[in-house]
Chains A and B, each alone.
Chain A
Amino acid sequence: SAVISQKPSRDICQRGTSLTIQCQVDSQVTMMFWYRQQPGQSLTLIATANQGSEATYESGFVIDKFPISRPNLTFSTLTVSNMSPEDSSIYLCSVTATGGELFFGEGSRLTVL
């Protein structure tokens, strides 16, 4: 299994500012992912955080808006840049452990005013 810690657990931000969310895993993992869950909607994959190289973004998501860092095999950050109210969501870090099971963090609930 993998234990994932996300910070912050929640935040309220002003429009136009940026927020960085941290994801720490208790073991080295190859695959780390960032998902978004907008209010009343399902989880949508934002990107795969690659260690030592640029993140791989899904359709509809771009690096300028959601820059991601992955300095090592246990840590990643997701920044939500130039926020607007539409960015109000829960952002979830997830990792794949041995056996292929996907583990999730508790999520970071972001509210943009």
Chain B
Amino acid sequence: AQRVTQPEKLLSVFKGAPVELKCNYSYSGSPELFWYVQYSRQRLQLLLRHISRESIKGFTADLNKGETSFHLKKPFAQEEDSAMYYCALDNFGNEKLTFGTGTRLTIIP
């Protein structure tokens, strides 16, 4: 069965420090992975997806098939990065997502 694990429920980082939100997955096929973000009082929205290999708001995520990981990274945290972050896996490319439990990131000024 597909599973997405985000080991940290809460993460606090000082402004300007590097950020890494961990995500591991279990999946038998060729996964498609996403990071979704929910800012305070806003709806859940896509942050980035691994197939586009782009940087959004300074965040990047590399799919590591050997370690089955898709960690989200940013070299210098900003206060506006405070939000809830969810890692998600697309099941067999059918657009049905399996979500991790989420990590609440707080940036300390």
Contact = CB atoms under 8 A, between A and B. Distances in A.
Interface in A1-54: 31, 33, 41-45, 48
Interface string B28-56: 00000010100000011110010000000
B28 to A, nearest CB: 17
Interface residues of A, number: 19
Contacts of A60: none
Contact of A92 (B34, B44, B49, B96): B44
A43 B96 CA distance: 11
B43 A33 contact: no
B70 interface: no
Contacts of B86: 42-43
Interface residues of B, number: 16
A107 B96 CA distance: 18
A15 to B, nearest CB: 28
A104 B43 contact: yes
A74 interface: no
A31 to B, nearest CB: 5
B101 A31 contact: no
A41 B101 contact: yes
B25 interface: no
Contact of B100 (A33, A42, A92): A42
23 contacts: A33-B96, A42-B86, A42-B100, A42-B102, A43-B86, A43-B97, A43-B99, A45-B97, A45-B98, A48-B96, A92-B44, A100-B95, A101-B46, A101-B49, A102-B34, A102-B36, A102-B46, A102-B95, A102-B97, A103-B45, A104-B44, A104-B45, A107-B43
